[in-house]
């Protein structure tokens, strides 16, 4: 059988994950963090990634950031297969292509440097030109100009995270990744932080991906990707025509706004993952056989009757 040739995605696509699998070994036991995940993100898009604890959200983010590698599958970022990077290329990728914002401010900011110094530091290390001008732009964009000389301990939680965003953006990356950036602040501050991410995406064209459990996410982001059991299971897309729809509460997840519809994601082989609450309502579980029928413009899934063959 001839080897399959992986073609780079179109120029408009920033991220393409195909059938990503990640297996960890813990005390001799294999744990599958990702089980064939597919995801496509366009350049300049602002998306959220949600899912229950252990669903694979942070594993995916670490792979996109070049901090981890999948056990199988392909991962293109900016048209390049990052799984084929040499170590110098991977280091360059982490320095210039991707910026990372962590939940803990202690991991984002150096405590004895001011807000402006923290933002300037990555540029100083990489030899970035016109650093002072770039720092000023970041401070203005994030509404921190009046706090430029403040140390992290003198900033509020929201200001610390905005300074962390500025630090991640300082080197002008093409992609910004954030892991639970609103997890340690109150709801009002969280909304301000999410608005900062939305403004950055709109005004700079940077591709922004946020992993979060924040209930305010649906108010700030048009596209929310839901990962279940290591796969891209469904997406919540904001309706454009003003129609409304009600959703059941997802396991361990917030209730989404009524201006969204949930779309189930088909993988490359045409398989889909049904929401658990839908399966429960039909009395079916994983491994069961079900009946499918094509009715004009729709596919119907029916539970198998006990007396049928």
Judge whether 189 lies within some domain. Answer: no
Give the Cα separation of 22 and 61 in Å (integer).
12
**pLDDT per residue over 274-294, tens digit each?**
767 777 777 777 667 777 777
**pLDDT per residue over 202-226, tens digit each?**
888 899 999 887 656 666 687 888 8
Q: What pLDDT band is residue 267 in, cutting at 50, 70 and 90? A: low
Secondary structure (DSSP) of 219-285: HH-SEEEEEETTEEEEEEEE-SS------PPPTTSPPPPTTEEEEEPP-TTS-----HHHHHHHT--
The model carries a pTM of 0.77
Instruction: Please give the DSSP secondary-structure letter assigned to residue 69.
Output: -
Judge whether 33 lies within some domain. Answer: no
Judge whether 147 lies within some domain. Answer: no
**Count of domains in the chain?**
1
Burial letters 178-208, b for 16+ CB under 10 A, else e: bbbbbeebeeebbbbbbebbbebbeebebbb
Q: What is the pLDDT of residue 297?
A: 78
Nearest Cα to Cα of residue 271 among 92, 40, 37, 113: 37
Give the Cα separation of 262 and 252 in Å (integer).
17
Judge whether 201 lies within some domain. Answer: no
- The overall average pLDDT reported for the chain is 79
Using only the alpha carbons of the chain, give its radius of gyration. Answer: 21
Judge whether 31 lies within some domain. Answer: no
Q: Are 87 and 135 in contact (CB under 8 A)?
A: no
22-31, 96-105, 273-282, range with greatest mean pLDDT: 96-105
Judge whether 6 lies within some domain. Answer: no
Query: 267 vs 83, which has greater pLDDT?
Result: 83
Q: Which domain holds residue 301?
A: 275-309
Which positions ≥6 away from 27 have C-beta within 8 Å?
none
């Amino acid at each position: 059988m001839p080897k399959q040739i992986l073609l780079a995605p179109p120029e408009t696509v920033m991220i393409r994950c195909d059938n990503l699998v990640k297996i960890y070994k813990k005390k001799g036991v294999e744990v599958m963090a990702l089980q064939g995940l597919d995801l496509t993100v366009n350049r300049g898009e602002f998306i959220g990634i949600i899912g229950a604890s252990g669903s694979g959200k942070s594993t995916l983010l670490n792979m996109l950031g070049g901090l981890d590698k999948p056990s199988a599958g392909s991962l293109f970022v900016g048209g390049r297969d990052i799984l084929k990077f040499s170590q110098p290329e991977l280091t360059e990728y982490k320095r210039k292509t991707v910026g990372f914002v962590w939940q803990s401010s202690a991991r984002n900011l150096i405590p004895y440097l001011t807000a402006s110094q923290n933002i300037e530091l990555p540029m100083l290390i990489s030899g970035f030109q016109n650093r002072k001008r770039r720092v000023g732009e970041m401070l203005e964009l994030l509404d921190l100009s009046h706090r430029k000389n403040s140390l992290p301990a003198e900033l509020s939680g929201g200001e610390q995270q905005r300074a962390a965003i500025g630090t991640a953006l300082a080197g002008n990356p093409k992609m910004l990744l954030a892991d639970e950036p609103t997890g340690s602040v109150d709801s009002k501050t969280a909304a301000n932080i999410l608005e900062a991410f939305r403004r950055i995406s709109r005004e700079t064209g940077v591709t922004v991906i946020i992993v979060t459990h924040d209930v305010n996410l649906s108010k700030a982001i048009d596209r929310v990707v839901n990962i279940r059991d290591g796969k891209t299971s469904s997406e919540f897309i904001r309706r454009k025509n003003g129609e409304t729809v009600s959703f059941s509460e997802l396991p361990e997840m917030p209730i989404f706004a009524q201006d969204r519809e949930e779309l189930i994601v088909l993988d490359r082989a045409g398989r889909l993952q049904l929401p658990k609450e839908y399966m429960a309502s039909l009395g079916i579980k994983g491994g069961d056989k079900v009946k499918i029928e094509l009715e004009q413009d729709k596919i119907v899934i029916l539970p198998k009757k006990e007396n049928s063959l």
